[in-house]
Amino acid sequence: MTNGNNVRFWVWHNGVGESEGSWVKITIPEGESRCIASGGPHDEGYSWTWERYRNDGDALRLESDTESRDCDGPHHHSIDLECLILDGQLDTETHPNPDYAAPNGQRLRWERTDERQRDYFAEAAGY
């Protein structure tokens, strides 16, 4: 949903613990961005995710980076996504599983624009 040059949308924010979390409504004026982080330690190491949402006027862009470590060593994963703004509205679709849907029953229709990953242990082993 947009209001003037603002976009408004729901995201699931996990907070610190894996079992914690809730839906959060984010509003971003055109030309601005918002960052959220989540993660922490787990039984095999840790995982942290940083997400930057940016309203460019024609699309909402998401840059997500995850740094983690488990029994196989450190990992890094990054993905860039965009959701078009069509006729002043974010491009959404009805979530196929209502148990996982945002409070409005919708989810953003994301398109992947880039993705990268590194497995440091595999690199050190020559894979």
Helices marked H in 1-127 — which ranges? 120-124
CA 106, distance to chain mean position in Å, is: 15
Number of domains comprising the chain:
1
pLDDT tens digits, 7-48? 999 998 875 545 577 888 999 999 999 999 988 888 889 999
> Which of 125, 119, 127 lies closest to 73, judged by CA?
119
For residue 82, the tally of other CB atoms under 10 A from its CB is 20
Buried-exposed string 35-45: b where 16+ CB fall within 10 A, e elsewhere: ebebbeeeeee
What is this structure's pTM? 0.83
Collect all residues with Cβ–Cβ distance below 8 Å to 99 and sequence separation of at least 6.
Answer: none
| φ, ψ at 124 (rounded to 5°) | -65, -30
What are the tokens at 47? 């995982």
Determine the structural domain holding residue 108 and report its residue range. 2-124
- Residue with the two structure tokens 């196989």: 72
pLDDT tens digits, 60-80? 999 999 999 988 888 999 999
